Chain A
């Protein structure tokens, strides 16, 4: 951890090294996780239930503090010193949009992050409008979140994070509970964004569709790191880590 990182690390959006964590009750969730994500990459983080994916995500913006190892976001180490800046840089979209959207209207919810960072007035308005336009939800600005469909809520949840102009977008199970049309709309949106994405998911076809590179997190360590298609085609690897392709889905013949 240096305050003036060498130029090479500026190309990295996220650098996780030797990250280990045990919950206060003694249960150890992470045993030395190492990986990096380059700027502009879209990476899928795959893994069975209980592999420690959510625990890892909560380390990325300093909600959990590493027992050992470090997380660095665009050269800035995650730590107490600049927590506000880290939370602006790492935009986490949680799994349940009802948890993420806690303000009475969509507009206020999207404004929450930038306003907490001190943005006011017309600049704030412009930021909100821009973030909503990225996900195609401008027309819903004054609606209360609970009047939207699930897919719309998920898109607004993405906008709330984009409004903070993050360095990296972290999505926790972005396709869960979405119908096929909403799923495709979200995929189109994610592809259109010019931003680094780390996507935590069980949805292997979705990972293949959106992320050229995948990581497998299993039993608290990174078990594989490579092109998504290669990983999905490696049957022994997949079986070892309790990953299964949906019925009838063949990654070899799926359109890239």
Chain B
């Protein structure tokens, strides 16, 4: 939780993918995910092709496969319930290794798993090739409500500060002989969390004072304007444009 905490997702590099403007990449990932999600689940081969597309994008960005796969583990808790679907879903059943599974549930699980994994992989590639700061500029450029962008940028700025404050409070607790051993100590931890909240809230007020002292009047001034050429846009949109025919083909071959 030390320095650089906010930048762990990013992997430094000088590839064509790193060089693309952030808002182009964001738009491309969004379009790609929409295309993937609207593909019929029965077109199994289509998902294989999508995976190949993503793998080649990762290769362009020179991201090692193991690196991407390890990052994708974040998906596990979210798809855990997909595993349950074949057991709990209704309808026609099929026997696999002596277990009675629902056909509908199997398709449902596959649907969640395949689309979720592709979406996560695309996001991991985006996050590994785009600095957080640039992502925010991209979101700003894509006209996300400015308040949301401001909140996100404060999270990046103050994440470490608050984590550090939390660490100091823990050290102070432990220096006085406290060890969280069980339920009995949850009260203490709860109070710590409360104190941390109040401290952060007060810091928020002080930051706000500092902001209005420098002429803040509700909107962030635009300091870095990110721009993209037509060429950069077309490069970024190659991915969703390649995915689109696969999706259409998936529907026609049903």
Residues of A bordering B, CB below 8 Å: 58, 61, 63, 84, 87-88, 90, 92, 94, 96, 98-105, 107-108, 111-113, 115-118, 120, 124, 144-147, 160-161, 164
Q: Are A63 and B157 interface neighbours, CB within 8 A?
A: no
B221 cross-chain contacts in A, Cβ below 8 A: 111-112, 115-116, 118
Q: Are B157 and A102 interface neighbours, CB within 8 A?
A: yes
**B197 at the binding interface (Cβ < 8 Å):** no
Q: Which 10 A-B pairs have the closest CB atoms?
A: A115-B221, A116-B215, A113-B214, A99-B206, A111-B223, A116-B221, A100-B210, A146-B160, A104-B133, A92-B213
Please tell me the number of chain B residues within 8 Å of chain A, measured between CB atoms: 29
Q: Are A87 and B213 interface neighbours, CB within 8 A?
A: yes
Which of chain B's residues 213-237 have a Cβ closer than 8 Å to chain A? 213-217, 221-224
Q: Are B217 and A102 interface neighbours, CB within 8 A?
A: no
| Chain A minimum-CB-distance residue to B136 | A104
Which of A84, A94, A100 is B215 in contact with, Cβ under 8 Å?
A: A84
A90 cross-chain contacts in B, Cβ below 8 A: 213
Q: Are A99 and B157 interface neighbours, CB within 8 A?
A: no
A102 cross-chain contacts in B, Cβ below 8 A: 154, 157-158, 207, 210-211
CB distance from A154 to the nearest CB of B (A): 13
| Chain B minimum-CB-distance residue to A157 | B210
Q: Are A63 and B211 interface neighbours, CB within 8 A?
A: no
A160 cross-chain contacts in B, Cβ below 8 A: 214
| Chain B minimum-CB-distance residue to A104 | B133
Report the separation of the CA atoms of residues A117 and B223 in the bound assembly, to the nearest whole angstrom. Answer: 12
Residues of B bordering A, CB below 8 Å: 3-4, 6, 132-133, 136, 153-154, 156-158, 160-161, 203, 206-207, 209-217, 221-224
Report the separation of the CA atoms of residues A103 and B152 in the bound assembly, to the nearest whole angstrom. Answer: 11
Q: Are A105 and B133 interface neighbours, CB within 8 A?
A: yes
Q: Are B215 and A113 interface neighbours, CB within 8 A?
A: yes
Report the separation of the CA atoms of residues A88 and B214 in the bound assembly, to the nearest whole angstrom. Answer: 7
Q: Are B223 and A124 interface neighbours, CB within 8 A?
A: yes
B211 cross-chain contacts in A, Cβ below 8 A: 102, 112
Beyond the given pairs A92-B213, A116-B221, 12 more chain A to chain B contacts, judged by CB atoms under 8 angstroms and listed by A's residue number, are A84-B215, A88-B215, A99-B210, A102-B157, A102-B207, A103-B153, A111-B221, A112-B221, A113-B214, A115-B221, A116-B216, A145-B157
B224 cross-chain contacts in A, Cβ below 8 A: 108
Report 21 cross-chain contacts, Cβ distance below 8 Å, ordered by A residue: A87-B215, A90-B213, A94-B213, A98-B203, A99-B209, A100-B210, A102-B210, A103-B153, A104-B132, A104-B153, A108-B224, A112-B214, A112-B216, A112-B221, A116-B214, A116-B215, A116-B216, A145-B157, A146-B3, A146-B160, A160-B214
B3 cross-chain contacts in A, Cβ below 8 A: 146-147
Report the separation of the CA atoms of residues A138 and B139 in the bound assembly, to the nearest whole angstrom. Answer: 28
| Chain A minimum-CB-distance residue to B133 | A104
Which of B6, B203, B217, B223 is A108 in contact with, Cβ under 8 Å?
A: B223
Q: Are A87 and B207 interface neighbours, CB within 8 A?
A: no
| Chain B minimum-CB-distance residue to A163 | B214
Which of A61, A107, A111 is B213 in contact with, Cβ under 8 Å?
A: A61
CB distance from A228 to the nearest CB of B (A): 27
| Chain A minimum-CB-distance residue to B5 | A146
CB distance from A80 to the nearest CB of B (A): 13
Q: Are B214 and A63 interface neighbours, CB within 8 A?
A: no
B214 cross-chain contacts in A, Cβ below 8 A: 87, 112-113, 116, 160-161, 164
B133 cross-chain contacts in A, Cβ below 8 A: 104-105
A100 cross-chain contacts in B, Cβ below 8 A: 210
Which of A84, A98, A101, A112 is B223 in contact with, Cβ under 8 Å?
A: A112
CB distance from B141 to the nearest CB of A (A): 15
Which of B4, B203, B212, B223 is A99 in contact with, Cβ under 8 Å?
A: B203
B132 cross-chain contacts in A, Cβ below 8 A: 104
A120 cross-chain contacts in B, Cβ below 8 A: 222
Q: Are B212 and A87 interface neighbours, CB within 8 A?
A: yes
Report the separation of the CA atoms of residues A120 and B223 in the bound assembly, to the nearest whole angstrom. Answer: 7
Q: Are A63 and B161 interface neighbours, CB within 8 A?
A: no
Given contacts A112-B223, A124-B223, contact A63 B215 (CB under 8 A): no
Report the separation of the CA atoms of residues A113 and B203 in the bound assembly, to the nearest whole angstrom. Answer: 20
| Chain A minimum-CB-distance residue to B6 | A144
Task: With a 10 A CB-CB cut-off, give which of B133, B160, B211, B215 has the most chain A CB atoms.
Answer: B215
Report the separation of the CA atoms of residues A104 and B3 in the bound assembly, to the nearest whole angstrom. Answer: 14
